[in-house]
Amino acid sequence: MDMSAQHITTIELLLGNLLGWLLLMYPTEAVRPGWLSFRTGLWQVLPMYVLVGLDYLIPLSLRPLIALYPFALIPLLITHVRTYKNWCEENFSTLDAFDVQWIVHYLWMVALVGVNYIFICVTQAPARGFTQLWFTIAMFAYSTEQILYRKDPWEMVRGREKAREPAPEAITEPAPSPENSELRQKLDRWMEEEKPYVNPAFQLSDLGAVLPMNRTYLSHFIKAEYGCTFYQFVNRYRVAEAKRLKLEQPDLKMDEIAARCGFSSRTVFSNVFTREEGVSPREWFKKCNPA
Across the chain, what does the average pLDDT equal? Answer: 79
Check residues 289 and 251 and name the one with the higher pLDDT.
251
What confidence score (pLDDT) does residue 179 get? 66
What pLDDT, on a 0 to 100 scale, did the predictor assign at position 258? 93
- Are 146 and 102 in contact by the 8 Å Cβ rule? The answer is yes
Task: Determine the pLDDT at residue 241.
Answer: 94
User: Which is more confident, 172 or 105?
Assistant: 105
- Distance (Å, rounded) from C-alpha 198 to C-alpha 192? 11
Residue 126 has pLDDT above 70, yes or no: no
Number of domains in the chain: 2
Q: How many CA atoms lie within 13 A of 88 on its CB side?
A: 19
* Distance (Å) of CA 39 to CA 15, 45, 46, 239, 243: 19, 10, 11, 46, 52
User: Would the pLDDT of 19 be above 80?
Assistant: no
> pLDDT tens digits, residue range 230-285?
999 999 999 999 999 988 888 888 899 999 999 988 999 999 999 999 999 889 88
Higher-pLDDT residue of 164, 23: 23
User: How much is the pLDDT for 243?
Assistant: 92
Q: Verify that 126 and 239 share a domain, yes or no.
A: no
For residues 56-83, average pLDDT: 79
Q: Would the pLDDT of 164 be above 60? A: no
Q: Give 228's DSSP letter.
A: S
User: Can you tell me the distance from the alpha carbon of 256 to that of 276, in angstroms, rounded to the nearest whole number?
Assistant: 19
Q: What is the pLDDT of residue 116?
A: 74
> 243 is in which domain, residue-wise?
229-291
| Position 269 in a domain | yes
Whether residue 240 sits in one domain with residue 134? no
Of 155, 186, 205, the one marking the end of a domain is 155
Q: How far is CA 44 from CA 7, 21, 83, 114, 146, in A?
A: 27, 8, 19, 18, 24
pLDDT of the residue at 199: 93
Question: From CA 122, how far away is CA 232, in angstroms rounded?
Answer: 50
Res. 44 pLDDT band, cuts 50 70 90: confident
Residue 145 pLDDT more than 80? Answer: no
Residues 147 and 245 reside in one and the same domain: no
pTM of the model: 0.74
Choose between 202 and 161: higher pLDDT: 202
Neighbours of 2 (CB within 10 A): 9
Contacts of 85 (CB under 8 A, 6+ apart): 100
Per the domain annotation, does 196 fall within a domain? no
Q: What are phi and psi of 168, to 5 degrees?
A: -65, -25
Q: Is residue 174 part of a domain?
A: no
75-96 core/surface letters (b: 16 or more CB in 10 A; e: else): eebeebbeebbebbbbbbbbbe
